[in-house]
């Protein structure tokens, strides 16, 4: 369930606690023999609200006024709060055999025997703090998996197949908004494309206010197909 906390978020000071750099986390998890990807079960809801702040979480449901006793989604500082929790809980493992970004975790090991030990250590740590995992979103003892939008393998980082499929299977842009979607999807895979600036230039030219209509005619019909071919061809 999601509640609109727009007014509360406006009145709440921003928590400046930094989130980890995604590129650094991904790089730190590369080149390992075995990986286990873990996702917390309703992560934010595993943090209890301070008793004095529960009334600030009030909302109306049917004919009753209710409030959250656990941290709900959509709070301004929910992500920063959860990251602080994970940094404290996994302080002895972060960078050594675990990487964590909010409620997404990856256990990394250079051998099968070490991976069993690393997993057991991670389970013991999470159990000590009564943190629960979502089995449906966990993968244990694999050589490749998705983490923070990237595909991690023992060979290194690879393009996320879902992002590639989203481009290959989308229809040719017919309106400016669809060109924006295609440009955004191409940008998310920019590190896997050679000469990406040249290949996406027609898309961004189309988005210029004065050239939108003319640019759309150039893009429509074949630019999406070209974008798909870039993802399936060898770099050059």
Q: Which of 10-14, 24-28, 198-202 has the lowest mean pLDDT?
A: 198-202
User: What digits encode the pLDDT tens for the residues 115-148?
Assistant: 999 999 999 999 999 999 999 999 999 999 989 8
pLDDT at residue 88, rounded to an integer: 96
pLDDT at residue 114, rounded to an integer: 95
Instruction: Check residues 1 and 31 and name the one with the higher pLDDT.
Output: 31
The answer to whether 96 and 106 are in contact (CB under 8 A) is: no
pLDDT at residue 183, rounded to an integer: 79
The arithmetic mean of pLDDT across residues 20-25, rounded, is 92
Judged against a pLDDT cut of 80, whether residue 93 lies above it is answered with yes
> E strand or H helix at 219, and its extent?
helix 212-219
The full set of domain ranges for the chain reads 16-49+64-150, 161-232
Judged against a pLDDT cut of 70, whether residue 196 lies above it is answered with yes
Q: Structure tokens of 195? A: 């000469």
The arithmetic mean of pLDDT across residues 142-156, rounded, is 86
Q: What is the DSSP string of 122-158?
A: HHHHHHHTT--B-GGG-EEEESEEEETTEEEETTEEE
Percent of the chain with pLDDT strictly greater than 90 = 44
CA dihedral sign of residues 110, 140, 169, 220: negative
Q: Which residues pair with 146 in a beta bridge?
A: 151
Options 3.40.47.10, 3.40.50.10490, 2.40.10.220, 3.30.70.270; which CATH number does 16-49+64-150 get? 3.30.70.270
The per-residue pLDDT of the chain, averaged, comes to: 84
The answer to whether 109 and 115 are in contact (CB under 8 A) is: yes
Local confidence band at 236 (pLDDT 50, 70, 90 cut-offs): very low
163-205-217 Cα angle (round to 5): 85
* Helices 176-188 and 161-169, axial angle in degrees (round to 10): 150
A 10 A CB-CB count for 90 gives 22
3-state DSSP call for residue 35?
A: strand
Local confidence band at 106 (pLDDT 50, 70, 90 cut-offs): very high
User: What digits encode the pLDDT tens for the residues 60-72?
Assistant: 888 888 998 999 8
Q: Structure tokens of 188? A: 């998310």
* C-alpha distances out from residue 184 to 87, 168, 173, Å: 31, 14, 13
| Region class of 18: left (phi > 0), else alpha (psi between -120 and 50), else beta | beta
Judged against a pLDDT cut of 60, whether residue 158 lies above it is answered with yes
- Output the furthest CA–CA distance in the chain (Å, rounded): 64
The arithmetic mean of pLDDT across residues 182-195, rounded, is 77
The arithmetic mean of pLDDT across residues 82-88, rounded, is 95
């Amino acid at each position: 369930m999601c509640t609109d906390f727009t007014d509360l978020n406006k009145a709440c000071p921003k928590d400046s606690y930094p989130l980890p750099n995604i590129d650094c986390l991904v790089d730190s998890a590369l080149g390992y023999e075995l990986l286990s990807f873990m996702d917390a079960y309703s992560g934010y809801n595993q943090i209890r609200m301070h008793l004095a702040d529960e009334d600030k979480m009030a909302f109306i449901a049917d004919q009753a006024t209710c409030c959250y006793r656990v941290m709900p989604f959509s709070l301004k500082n929910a992500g920063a709060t959860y990251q602080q929790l994970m940094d404290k809980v996994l302080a002895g493992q972060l960078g050594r055999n675990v990487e964590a970004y909010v409620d997404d975790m990856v256990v990394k090991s250079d051998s099968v025997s070490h991976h069993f030990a690393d997993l057991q250590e991670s389970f013991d740590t999470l159990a000590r703090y009564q943190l629960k995992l979502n089995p449906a979103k966990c993968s244990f003892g694999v050589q490749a998996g998705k983490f923070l939008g990237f595909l991690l393998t023992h060979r290194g980082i690879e393009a996320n197949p879902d992002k590639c499929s989203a481009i290959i299977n989308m229809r040719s842009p017919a309106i400016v908004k669809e060109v924006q979607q295609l440009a955004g999807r191409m940008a998310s895979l920019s590190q896997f494309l050679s000469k990406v600036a040249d290949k996406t230039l027609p898309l961004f030219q189309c988005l210029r206010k004065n050239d939108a209509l003319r640019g759309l005619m150039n893009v429509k019909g074949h630019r999406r197909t070209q974008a798909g071919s870039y993802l399936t061809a060898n770099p050059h």
